[in-house]
Amino acid sequence: MISAGERAYITQCVEGGLRGDGRGCLDHRVTRLDVGTIPQANGSARVQLGGTDVMVGVKVEIGAPLAFRPDSGRVEFNVDFSPCGSPDFEGKEGEVLGADLANALARSVVVGPDGKAGGLDLATLSILPGNSCWVIFVDALILNNDGSLLDAVTMAMRGALAEIRIPHVEITKGDSAEVPEFEIDNEKSSKLDAGAVPIIVTVAKIGRRYLVDLTSEEELCSDFSLHIAVNAEGRVCGVTKKGSTPVHASVMQEMLELAQRIGPKVIESLDAYIVDVLGE
């Protein structure tokens, strides 16, 4: 919680172009990305965005496709909060927020009824249409929350997906025609094409000013915010609104344009580091 006096002070400072940590309204906090932080995962990354600290692990397994998308793979999202993090997210409240964050990630990465309009082309994950496919499990752990959770999680997710390699699969005849057998060849694996995966840029309005990468205190001073998923080309892949305050169309357009300018720059910086670490 935040007092009325603190809220008024932060709002007044922001309207004057000042933030508590000295940043400009459209500046991100110092960001640290570490790739390959979980040896047991197929891909993993940790992002520290100011005081916000998140870790993402990705596993790839063979599973069954969805009934309405039989010729595509699947992506499953899960977000949990560390017991060592904020006590505000313990119990049911943390479960509800985790589900909301996971749904926001799904809307951003997997778009369209055929699974081809989002950041991942799910059709490339099909093994045997209607029977088997690759399932990508994306698990995020919130170690500490100091605002802009979705922004940090999607940065870490992009780093984790960059490590993923999909093994080559040979389908062989099993004892039953209805139950195929697979031979998995990890040596012939191919890199997952995650270049189109967006990140989320949260844009909020405090007073008359737009802000990005809000701290937890700044989030409490904002009447609403937009979690805008933007890819490397600046295309908007999804939008999630937080807060009950109505948003005028012109205000929303300005916020979208800000995210479209900022998102590609952030992705460029992330990808440059990822290439340097992975050599790909």
Nearest one of 191, 58, 73, 190 to 132, comparing CA atoms: 73
pLDDT of the residue at 176? 62
At the second CATH level, the architecture of 4-278 is 2-Layer Sandwich (3.30)
pLDDT of the residue at 246? 86
Q: Residue 241 in contact with residue 219, Cβ under 8 Å?
A: no
pLDDT of the residue at 82? 86
Nearest one of 245, 242, 244, 219 to 1, comparing CA atoms: 219
pLDDT of the residue at 13? 87
Query: What is the pTM (predicted TM-score) of this model?
Result: 0.91
pLDDT of the residue at 111? 56
Low-confidence ranges of the chain (pLDDT < 70): 85-88, 111-118, 173-179, 280
pLDDT of the residue at 43? 94
* Dist. CA 186–CA 117, nearest whole Å: 28
Residue with tokens 């400072």: 13
* Dist. CA 258–CA 254, nearest whole Å: 6
pLDDT of the residue at 87? 67
What are the tens digits of pLDDT across the range 245-270? 888 999 999 999 999 999 999 999 99
Q: Residue 149 in contact with residue 101, Cβ under 8 Å?
A: yes
Q: Where are the domains of the chain?
A: 4-278
What are the tens digits of pLDDT across the range 52-67? 999 999 999 999 998 8
pLDDT of the residue at 48? 96
